[in-house]
Amino acid sequence: MIAHIKGKIIHKSVESLIVDVGGIGYEVHIPLSTYYKLPDIHEHVSLNTYTHLKEDAIQLYGFLTHREKEIFQLLISVSGVGPRLARNILSGCDADELTSALSNSDIPKLKSIPGIGGKTAERLIVELKDKVGKISIDVHHKIKGDGRDEICRDILSALLNLGYKQQQAEKAVEKVRAENRDAAFDVLLKEALRVLAKG
């Protein structure tokens, strides 16, 4: 499975882009949330990708943030929601709005997304309401950054997977990030666990 792709954009549209990686052009389907933030053609891009296998094709779906990819994978885990519809959902509602709508059982908001009817909205809430809270936050927005955001996001995700509450985990990551700015992932994770153990 191709989980990440990095290369030069040689074509882009609102539905997909072609990334040149070592002379091979990969078509990557994208939501609008990713399209709006893409660099210009002939510039380099780094995308988190999901590989969808079909009987007659292999399709790549790409996202600028790990959080978008996590949400996409949750969406396609729901019965009746395929990759195309999941991409359309992320195009019609950004990650924060979508997780809020699912957490708050906001059926009208979900129904306002093209392609989502009442039954699908209810199914999304039933199957994902308890799961979206475990999705790691987008540290590019939540934790002010200087190139260390990738490590902080991974640490936060690890803490959430260990069962810590999101607010506690965020505070611990922010604290150790400020105090150990140049430390490696394993050091920061140990420090964050130490902070959480102290309460």
Q: Report how far Cα 126 is from the mean position of its chain's Cα atoms.
A: 21
Q: Which domain holds residue 72?
A: 67-134
Number of structural domains, the chain? 3
User: In this structure, are 46 and 72 located in the same domain?
Assistant: no
Q: How many CB atoms lie within 10 A of CB 3?
A: 9
Provide, for the chain, the percentages of residues in helix, strand and coil under a 3-state DSSP scheme, each rounded to the nearest 5: 50, 20, 30
27-53: average pLDDT: 94
Please say if the pLDDT value at position 137 is more than 60.
no
Exposed / middle / buried, residue 26 (Cβ in 10 Å: 0-12, 13-18, 19+) = middle
CATH of the domain at 77: 1.10.150.20
CA–CA distance, 64 with 19 (Å, rounded to integer): 13
Question: Which tops the pLDDT comparison, 18 or 164?
Answer: 18
* pLDDT, tens digit, 9 for 90 and up, residues 159-168: 877 777 777 8
